Structure 1
Amino acid sequence: MAISMENVLGKLEGPMVDKSYGADKLQPRVLKEIGQALVVIFQEPPSSKNKKTAHRWKLIAAMKPFPGPPAHWLYGHAHEFSQDGTDLDKTVVWSQKYPYGHQVWFGPFTAYLAVYHPDYAKALLASSEPKDDVAYRFMLPWIGDGLLINSGQKWYRHRRLLTPGFHYDILKSYVQEIAESTKIMLDKWELLSTKEQSVELYHHISLMTLDSILKCAFSFHSNCQLERGNNSYIQAVYELGFLASERFKTFQHHYDLIYYLTPNGIRFRRACNLAHEHTDKVIHQRKEALKDEKELERIKEKKHRDFLDILLCSRDENGIGLSDEDLRAEVDTFMFEGHDTTASGISWLLYCLAQHPEHQQKCRQEIQELLGGQEKFQWEFLSNMPYTTMCLKESLRLYPPLPGVSRKLSKPLIFPDGKQVPAGCLVALSIYSLHRNPNFWDDPEKFNPLRFTPENSENRHHHSYMPFSVGPRNCIGQHFAMNEMKVAAALILNRFELEVDEINLPIKTPQIVLRSKNGIHLKIKKLEK
């Protein structure tokens, strides 16, 4: 039987279908792209032996207990996400209509259960289920099969191997390195603060956090903050994050053969090469340093080694170290995660404080009392800045650096209300929407640091707030990140006053981390001494 477009639209079942995108509204180019996929999608399930068809109908059955917003007949919900600053707001609206979770489709063959409720989050994150094999797969050519993506015994082995790199004593030694990197950035800001216009801070902060992670975790001094022009690694990370997100939303680009022939696929490969050149340089320099017997002995005698030295010196029970592939994957992973997430966290914190000068001033008073007129930041200060810490936690609630996480189920998942999802399904937790759940947060859009006083936090659902995720696969570097954000915030507020640029407000966009499409523009004014 010939399949016409109107016949297809009338026949579609499964996810709730928005049929407003009829054949008359499709361009010829789009119709040509659809091709054979239509036949695959709409064959009757009982008679079809096509694997794609069987997979689609299996997904429809799995998602049936979780109705969701109307989906386009071919693109699913992918067309709902246009990166115009409203994508995350749309998920919040959906979370209020479907407070526990609902199905989300990206094309005809990829469906997620999107969850928003703390009870569902607790059930999902209680185990060490692997990351999903769709969205995270697009990052593999970039960061490899490192701790962020790998699973099973490999993940367990690497997690156990790397945990000592974030020991209390190691983190304590990093404070001065972070402070030094922050001061370099602030000296640059002094030259910019003499101008009337606002300054785009996200890029400056990204360079500072890259400088910090290179010094702290990799014993690498790059002078990246003082280089002229744009840093090639930072630019590559921006590009890779954007392209991976775009690829996820374009279902025909899920196929490698198609994607790497497109302009975006070519850009992605080029950016990967740039990022890998940077990490290879860091690894090579440290390997060369360790050829010096005195340096090697010094490292072996240290009670706690830094991240890269752990990787280079580790041996299994057979005396075999990490392969070059595994080594670069972990370095690529932590080079990216160790600077980009903290850059996001610091940038959005400064934006929140610029929006609320009364909270900014309270933080400044607290910090200036600690510093006592100096800029030397001590480890002990970190536990003696409660108001600044509450402001940081509140900014992480409103603008979590990782707006969501997702898993692929290796076994059925049963939620507390009795609903369940079979093995093989993809489940995505929107941390951004979870943090705005009105059942757990009064006036959730308001910036209110007092939510995090001990008395206000005491009876809160433990899974209603998780900027670094929770469970076995939580962020291994979360204490490093919190420390870095506190040090940077303290030194910034001690030297500058921040003001919002009303004509250049940020446009939030969820890529791998939460960014602003147009950067974070603030007016900075040097404080009088």
Structure 2
Amino acid sequence: MSVSVLSLTRPLDTVSGLLQLASLLGLALLLLKTAQLYQRRQWMLKAIQQFPSPPSHWFFGHKQEEGRELKKRTEKYRCASPLWLWGSRVSLIVYDPDYMKMIPGRSDPKSEGAYRFMAPWIGKPFPPTPQTHCGPRYGLLLLNGEIWFQHRRMLTPAFHYDILKPYVRLMVDSVQVMLVNKWEELLSQNSHLEIFEHVSLMTLDTIMKCAFRNFQSYIQAIKDLNYLVFSRMRNVFYQKDIFYWLTSEGRRNHKACQLAHEHTVIKLRKAQLQEEEEPEKVRNKRHLDFLDILLLAKMENGRGLSDKDLRAEVDTFKFEGHDTTASGISWILYILATHPEHQQRCREEIQMFMRWEGPDRMPYTTMCIKEALRLYLPVPTVGRELSKPITFPDGRSLPRGFLVLLSFYALHHNSNVWPNPEVFDPSRFAPDASRHSHAFLPFSGGSRNCIGQHFALKEMKVAVALTLLRFELAPDPFRIPVPTPRIVLMSKNGIHLHLRKLL
């Protein structure tokens, strides 16, 4: 009997010993991680000691800070101030044109932090992990260094003025479908309309026409990804891939990525081009869409983009040209609805120029569009991780590896840069008006500015012109939009307008 009891207790002792060892290892790892976080925090505190900031919550940091507080920063803390996230991470948020001028001209890479959550959707330049479900791909938005320069150089011809000319007809078609087939029909039931959803579908329809072709399932996938990426950025428990992909939102993200990637139609288009004549003859024979240009483009070494690179650039083009432009158009229409005198002046100008010279010759309307973009720019902030130390014009400095956030929203609402910044005043953009070269950055600045900005502006002008010719716009006094930054600037409660059809 005693032998039997002894034989039973030995495995229990072994298990107990393993549990103790595991507990000790866990405690050691916890202490190591705590020490690393403490050391990192001390480094961050030393780096920002020259930059005062508002008080922050010990855990949330400044995460709950809203647009009003951001505007107050520009008044109280000159040029820039630290922004704490979750109480353990800090970046310097910049809103001064002299500071802004220094960053875009450097070769600092984009911050991996927020952009890595987009990687499964529009490219994977960061080290791949088994949990991402996506192979290594490279899209211009996420690229850095020499490979970014090569891709940028290859893609630039796709946005040349002459290439964009034929796109205007496609833009007009998509806008007319929205105005005639949707809005006029809805107005027969009610004069009130939430416009962002319709404008977003219209810009996506335009992108698909200019680049490839239309797919309904792709539209739903893009809507899902916009929500899921922003949701992941805001949730501290979703930061690690290994945990995120096990959640219901992670599985939805993976499914949406698969749907988005299925519609790049690269192999089919390659086969079509191979059946046609030589590339130069193809260029001259018909209008080339974005995918044609990518497939025909060559790097300096004579090689084209790989299928994975092509897919990433295609997905990037669809992402950057869709909700960003929809956000811009929706806010422009809202601001014109709230300023009927400017709306009418734009309408009269459009009636004069549209027939003879098209959307490019509408100076006052263009001024109104730019002023609306100043107030409600689609992409409020971008991040850069310093690849080397920097010293700003006032002598303050930051070390290598620090994260800098370029807050274009705060810059555009900075009363030290724009007098009466909350007032809609198109004359700020009159031909003879003077301003700092980096005071207005709706499409970022420097070498990494938005490659598709001329495409976006042209689409905005077309949408605004055709809308004002067909409808008179007025705001809904009971549903005032509440701007909220997501992947792009949206409204928490939608953008609601009253429309009256013009004779």
Equivalent positions of 1:116-155 (< 5 A) are: 116-144=95-123, 145-155=138-148
Which of 465, 468, 475 lines up with 2:450 in the alignment? 475
User: Within the alignment, does 1:73 sit opposite 2:55 as a pair?
Assistant: no
User: Could you tell me whether the CA contact under 8 Å between 1:75 and 1:251 is conserved in 2?
Assistant: no
Query: Conserved in 2, the CA contact under 8 Å of 1:130 and 1:151?
Result: yes
**Secondary structure of the structure 1 residue equivalent to 2:415:** coil
Q: How many angstroms does 1:305 deviate by?
A: 4.8
Q: 1:73 and 1:308 mapped to 2: Cα distance?
A: 49
Say whether residues 1:484 and 2:459 are aligned partners.
yes
Residues 19-418 of structure 1: pairs in structure 2 closer than 5 A: 50-78=35-63, 80-81=64-65, 87-144=66-123, 145-188=138-181, 189-216=183-210, 218=211, 220-222=212-214, 231-278=216-263, 280=264, 282-294=265-277, 298-301=281-284, 305-371=288-354, 380-418=357-395
Q: 1:497 to 1:36 in 2, by over 3 A?
A: farther
Question: Structure 2: how far apart are the matches of 1:527 and 1:284?
Answer: 46
Change (3 A) 1:39 1:357: farther
1-structure distance, mates of 2:367, 2:232:
36
For 2:450 and 2:237, how far apart are their aligned partners in 1? Answer: 32
Question: Which amino acid is 1:185 matched to?
Answer: M
Amino acid at match of 1:142: W
Partner-residue secondary structure (3-state), 1:135: helix
Taking a change above 3 Å as real, the CA distance of residues 245 and 95 of structure 1, as seen in their structure-2 partners, is: farther
Does the residue aligned with 2:472 lie in a helix, a strand or coil? strand
> 1:369 & 1:296 partners in 2: Cα distance?
41
Q: 1:424-454: per-residue Cα shift (whole Å, max 9, x none)? A: 1110011111001111212111111111112
- The answer to whether 1:465 aligns with 2:440 is yes
Note if contact 1:128-1:473 (Cα within 8 Å) is conserved in structure 2.
Answer: no
Greater C-alpha Rg: 2
3-state SS, counterpart of residue 523 of structure 1: strand
Q: Distance in 2 between matches of 1:522 and 1:61?
A: 49
Contact 2:95 2:407 in 1 (8 A): yes
* Residue of structure 2 in register with 1:449 after alignment: 426
**Are the aligned partners of 1:164 and 1:304 in contact in 2 as well (CA < 8 Å)?**
no
Distance in 2 between the 1:71 and 1:185 partners? 45
Give yes or no for contact 1:106–1:249 (8 Å, CA) kept in 2. Answer: no
Runs of 4+ in 1 over 6 A off after TM superposition: 35-38
Letter of the 1:386 partner, please give it: P
Question: How far has the Cα of 1:319 moved from its partner?
Answer: 4.2
- Count of paired positions: 462
Amino acid in the other structure paired with 1:74: F
Worse-matched range after superposition: 478-487 or 69-78: 69-78
- Note the aligned Cα RMSD (angstroms): 2.3
Query: What's the CA shift for 1:302?
Result: 6.1
What is the alpha-carbon distance in structure 2 between the residues aligned to residue 388 and residue 38 of structure 1?
59
CA distance in 1, matches of 2:97, 2:296: 41
Q: Against the structure 1 CA distance between its residues 37 and 469, is the aligned structure 2 distance closer, same or farther, given a 3 Å change threshold?
A: farther
Letter in 1 for 2:315: D
Task: Name the stretch that deviates more: 394-403 or 283-292.
Answer: 283-292
5+ long unaligned stretches in structure 1: 1-34, 44-49, 82-86, 225-230, 373-377
Measured against aligned partners, the alpha-carbon deviations of 1:81-136 in whole angstroms (never above 9, x if no partner) come to: 5xxxxx22332122322131111122254221111111111111122321101011
Give the deviation of 1:147 after TM superposition.
Answer: 0.7
The Cα shift of 1:294 comes to 4.4
Shift in Å, 1:192 = 1.4
Q: 1:90 to 1:261 in 2, by over 3 A?
A: farther
The CA deviation at 1:39 is 5.3
**C-alpha separation in 2, matches of 1:423 and 1:109:** 18
Counterparts of 2:283 and 2:344, CA distance in 1: 46
Which amino acid in structure 2 is aligned with residue 235 of structure 1?
Q
* Aligned residue identity for 2:426: P
Question: CA separation in 2, counterparts of 1:65 and 1:37?
Answer: 33
CA separation in 1, counterparts of 2:147 and 2:285?
A: 26
Write the distance in 2 (CA, Å) between the matches of 1:287 and 1:435. Answer: 44
Inter-CA distance 252–61: structure 2 relative to 1 (3 Å threshold)? farther
Shift of 1:401: 0.7
The answer to whether the 8 Å contact 2:191/2:499 transfers is: no
Aligned residue identity for 1:182: V
**Shift in Å at residue 284 of structure 1?**
4.0
Matched, 1:523 2:498: yes
1:298 to partner: Cα distance? 4.2
Query: Equivalent residue for 1:7?
Result: none
In structure 1, the residue corresponding to 2:110 is in which secondary structure?
Answer: coil
- Contiguous gaps of at least 5 residues in structure 2: 1-26, 124-137
Note closer, same or farther for the CA distance 1:497–1:447 as it changes in structure 2 (3 Å cut). Answer: same
Contact 1:100/1:120 (<8 A) preserved = yes
Q: Cα offset for 1:156? A: 0.2
The corresponding residue for 2:8 is none
Larger deviation, residues 385-394 vs 87-96: 87-96
TM-score, length basis structure 2: 0.86
Q: Contact 2:98 / 2:393 at 8 angstroms: preserved in 1? A: yes
* Matched-pair contact (CA < 8 Å) for 1:437–1:444: yes
The farther-off stretch of 139-148 and 289-298 is 289-298
* Post-superposition offset of 1:494: 0.6
Partner-residue secondary structure (3-state), 1:72? coil
For the Cα contact (< 8 Å) 1:40–1:53, is it kept in 2?
A: no
Equivalent position SS for 2:393:
coil
Farther-moved stretch of structure 1 (244-253 vs 55-64): 244-253
Task: Rate the CA distance shift 1:118–1:317 in 2: closer, same or farther, 3 A.
Answer: closer
Using the TM superposition, give the Cα deviation of residue 207 of structure 1 relative to its aligned residue in structure 2, in angstroms: 1.7
How far apart in 1 are the matches of 2:313 and 2:273? 19
Q: 1:98 to 1:335 in 2, by over 3 A?
A: same
Letter matched to residue 382 of structure 2: V
